[in-house]
Structure 1
């Protein structure tokens, strides 16, 4: 076979090799066609990495003195040594020696053969360098994939809003929370860089960053599970709220007790007219009612915490419940110059009338308590509407209102809206959490709309009838 054909065949063979040993096997094959040699060794550094025949090694005294010279010259060289020729064929790329082929032969090759060996060495060097680069790239890919896959954060790369890469953590998170991907795309469209996602009692913090890879724009998404941080934050908030609650409840208990004690001591220590006694007794009665309400709230809260808060349902005329609630707070409303307006038609339903009365009393009391002192005409309007097998009870006022960032917290246990408008208003922060629990035990829901300085609307939605009993 002609040399040109051998070279063509060799180029085809080495284009398919995927490791160094296969390259050297192909190299030995073409060298056998060109040269008649007895032994072939391939050196990498000072180590023999391939031999033909296997495990037959050339004495390094044959070539060791010429290694540096060959590395500088990078040309095939054959030198006589006793009765043989020692051939040294450098496998190189550019000026870099990649490996060195050492052969023993009895015939010195011609100048034309040396030229072919130079070409073969160069082609082999290109292939060998590519193989090593591919291995480096592959090792690097495995290295970085391993690092990315052991990360506690999810990492996603999006290309044209489709997932191009995701590490194992991201795959796990997206499988458990499939809605998260659509949320990512929504925020991507709105150019949001950071957002939080909550689902199934899990919290995630996400960052979206535009990057350029391979000359095109992509989005790097980092997903961090912050559930533990959120839980710690909530625990701290609860601890703070409980501390405030203890201070509030102590104050709430001490105030009526101090008033009762003061008025009783006055009655016991000095002569008083019947009118004065009656006035003092009314004050004492009012303060005792306040104490009773505090204790009832604490009892309800204790049942709420232990899960023992129950309702006893019966057929109930809702307007009568509302009337009793109005009567319970009427004097309180008069003291604050708040007018109570009622709009109610006869509606029969199944509910716990005493618990629903407690809900309405609480909503009316809050509306009165947080009325706007700067307004001349203060009111609380309570209306009841029957709609689509539901009862909608609306308590509307023109009080001080609730800040927008506080609305979603007002039903939390112990929570109170504290600002310059509310700091002097008594309260434990339990009422609305109890209200919410009672409403939900009835299979209903409670909503609120509010605007600071305008007023609030609380809406209680209850089933018209149910099987609760």
Structure 2
């Protein structure tokens, strides 16, 4: 049949076949082209393509039974990479291996009523070889596609899992660029402060090669940030996980408040019990022995009862003031007065207490400073702050003092109350103004008081539109600053 085809026709068929197999996008189309070209050169009743395991991959024509003898011949062809033709009944079976670089990818069987000449056999062998080359590439491409689909499915699966996490998760490369982020991180809207701290934490993790942690506060929310060094394809990366721990912090805060309330109640009970016990003891003594007591002793006992009653009254007034402030029921009665004079009068009233603690009181300002405010409440603030300076003085100090300075600054007035007492650790500088908070058990048991003084002072100052803060160092001393608006001096 090859002799009946002109050279031009042969080249045309070959060119057409090559185009078909090169354009084939899947093995099935390639095998169709191979079968078609075989039928051009051999008058075939049926054509079957088998894989290496002799499973049928493609068939054209009737189904053919492959017996054991035929299987042996097929196996010989596959092992020797050489075509074979053998008679089978009234037909001839032509077997061509699909071989590429010594690797057999399958075999083609063609049933025909005629023998194939050597020239035609070699040409068909060439077609089989070209088909094997493309077939291997198509199978490899198909395998890669399947792997890609599997990888994509796995990636999407993991992405959905990570997207379902409440944490904000991201992976950074060495240039601090995000190479992966879950939905939580992608949709997050952190402020510049957190963004800056994230960058610093990532860079520190790359630098140290160790796990880094950080807790930050933004608005009403608290975040825990963990940066973990990882490696991908030999390149160092950082896995960042941001967790919103606001609820956890809130629970911790509520527990701390409950604990402070418990301690506060215990402290208040002690504070009330002490003056009541003294009043009761001296009153019982007077009742039981009034006829035996001389006038001087009786006067001393009554003075003690009166003093303890005043102490009890001050405790109750503090509790009432705190209750009013908490319920926002406290109102201010503003008048214009000389703040310097008020402070001088307040310090004089506390000289006896200062002497008992060997503390020297000093007012460093002499000139009047007019201010419009609630005189009673400002006196309450000054009393509390000076009282704290006296109470928390160091027992072993040779020279103890509480100094007050008043300075007018534009439409503000600044009051500084400083001492050289025990001082307050830095971590408590803000907390000392919180309700129910007291600094350390040592100081708590050394001095009397409800622990509400600074809380009340802060709220009174803020009610005036001012602010209060402190600077302190343990065993050096404390300075409390009170800044108040001067107000309308009328």
Greater Cα offset, 390-399 or 405-414: 405-414
Q: 2:169 touches 2:240 (CA, 8 Å); kept in 1? A: yes
Q: 2:362 touches 2:404 (CA, 8 Å); kept in 1? A: yes
What is aligned with 1:238? Answer: 257
Please give the per-residue CA displacement for 1:179-216, whole angstroms capped at 9, x wherever unaligned: 31112123345558111011121111111223233333
Superposition map of 1:364-379 within 5 A: 364-379=386-401
CA pair 121-391 structure 1, distance change in 2 beyond 3 A? same
- Following TM superposition, by how much is the alpha carbon of 1:259 offset from its aligned partner in structure 2, in angstroms? 0.7
Greater Cα offset, 270-279 or 149-158: 270-279
Q: Tell me the TM-score normalized by structure 1.
A: 0.82
What is aligned with 2:182? Answer: 167
What is aligned with 1:17? Answer: none
Query: Which secondary structure does the structure 2 equivalent of 1:423 belong to?
Result: helix
Q: 2:27 touches 2:139 (CA, 8 Å); kept in 1? A: no
Q: 2:480 aligns with which of 431, 438, 458?
A: 458
- Following TM superposition, by how much is the alpha carbon of 1:347 offset from its aligned partner in structure 2, in angstroms? 1.7
CA pair 352-118 structure 1, distance change in 2 beyond 3 A? same
Superposition map of 1:56-455 within 5 A: 110-159=124-173, 160-173=175-188, 175-190=189-204, 193-270=212-289, 271-344=292-365, 345-455=367-477
Query: Which secondary structure does the structure 1 equivalent of 2:445 belong to?
Result: coil
What is aligned with 2:208? Answer: none
Q: 1:260 touches 1:284 (CA, 8 Å); kept in 2? A: yes
CA pair 306-25 structure 1, distance change in 2 beyond 3 A? farther
Please give the per-residue CA displacement for 1:357-387, whole angstroms capped at 9, x wherever unaligned: 1111111111111111111221100111112
Distance 2:97 2:107 in 1: 5
Q: 1:89 touches 1:121 (CA, 8 Å); kept in 2? A: no
Unaligned stretches of 5+ in structure 1?
Answer: 15-21
Q: 2:97 touches 2:104 (CA, 8 Å); kept in 1? A: no
Query: Which secondary structure does the structure 2 equivalent of 1:198 belong to?
Result: strand
Please give the per-residue CA displacement for 1:131-150, whole angstroms capped at 9, x wherever unaligned: 11111211121111111111
Query: Which secondary structure does the structure 2 equivalent of 1:373 belong to?
Result: coil
Distance 1:193 1:446 in 2: 36
- Following TM superposition, by how much is the alpha carbon of 1:424 offset from its aligned partner in structure 2, in angstroms? 2.5
Distance 1:464 1:88 in 2: 108
CA pair 299-8 structure 1, distance change in 2 beyond 3 A? farther
Q: Tell me the TM-score normalized by structure 2.
A: 0.79
- Following TM superposition, by how much is the alpha carbon of 1:93 offset from its aligned partner in structure 2, in angstroms? 13
What is aligned with 1:27? Answer: 30
Q: When the two structures are aligned, how many residues end up with a matched partner?
A: 450
CA pair 8-285 structure 1, distance change in 2 beyond 3 A? farther
CA pair 328-200 structure 1, distance change in 2 beyond 3 A? same
Larger Rg: 2
Q: 2:423 touches 2:475 (CA, 8 Å); kept in 1? A: yes
Query: Which secondary structure does the structure 1 equivalent of 2:216 belong to?
Result: strand
Q: 1:76 touches 1:118 (CA, 8 Å); kept in 2? A: no
Distance 1:464 1:439 in 2: 12
Q: 1:324 touches 1:357 (CA, 8 Å); kept in 2? A: no
Distance 2:372 2:430 in 1: 29
Distance 1:378 1:214 in 2: 68
Distance 1:379 1:298 in 2: 29
Greater Cα offset, 311-320 or 137-146: 311-320
